[in-house]
Structure 1
Amino acid sequence: MTVKYTKNFLDKLENLFASSEFILRYEKGSFKSGYCILKENKVVIINKYYTIEGKINTLIDIIKELQFNPKDFQEKKNQDFLGELQQTELKL
């Protein structure tokens, strides 16, 4: 799968998080993006000042690190999209 650095592609990634047990938040600050667990709530925090390309690359890295399973998603389009993402390697 080719990663497209567009708002539409970012929306698809955000939809994956919306369908998962993780909460995706964009916060301002001078911190490195990543994910954390706060008080048993699974929260992913992304720097809101990142470019679209930075947000997309970070979300893909986090999805791979969290090892989302396509079978955990009810919607077929999310399952297919995640399956394609898991086969994608970012070339930085």
Structure 2
Amino acid sequence: MALKYTKHFLDKLENLFASSEYVLRYEKGNFKSGYCVLKETRIVIVNKYFPLEGKINALVDILSELKLDPSGFKDKANQEFLKELQQTTLKF
């Protein structure tokens, strides 16, 4: 799957987090990777000053790190979207 750097694609990623047990927040901070995952409290924090492309790359990277189970989502569209994302690899 090719990543699309659009607001709509970012919205789809944000909906995945909204449907999961993790809370997504945009905050200012000096994270070395641009994001921070607090696994015990299930909070994902992304640097709010990132450009659109940076936010999308960070969220895709976080999703691959969290290894969420697609069957845990009630919405079929979210299940399919997550399956596609899990087959995507980021190339820098």
The aligned runs of 1:13-92 (5 Å cut-off) are: 13-32=13-32, 33-37=35-39, 40-92=40-92
Residue 26 of structure 1 deviates from its aligned partner by: 0.2
For structure 2, the 5+ residue unaligned runs are: none
Task: Output the CA distance in 2 between the equivalents of 1:46 and 1:29.
Answer: 8
Letter in 1 for 2:23: I
Task: Output the CA distance in 2 between the equivalents of 1:12 and 1:60.
Answer: 11
Residue 29 of structure 1 deviates from its aligned partner by: 2.2
Instruction: Count matched residues.
Output: 90
Q: TM-score, normalised by structure 1?
A: 0.93
Identity of aligned residues (%): 62
The question of whether the paired residues in 2 share the 8 Å contact of 1:23 and 1:44 is answered with: yes
Residue 31 of structure 1 deviates from its aligned partner by: 2.0
Residue 25 of structure 1 deviates from its aligned partner by: 0.2
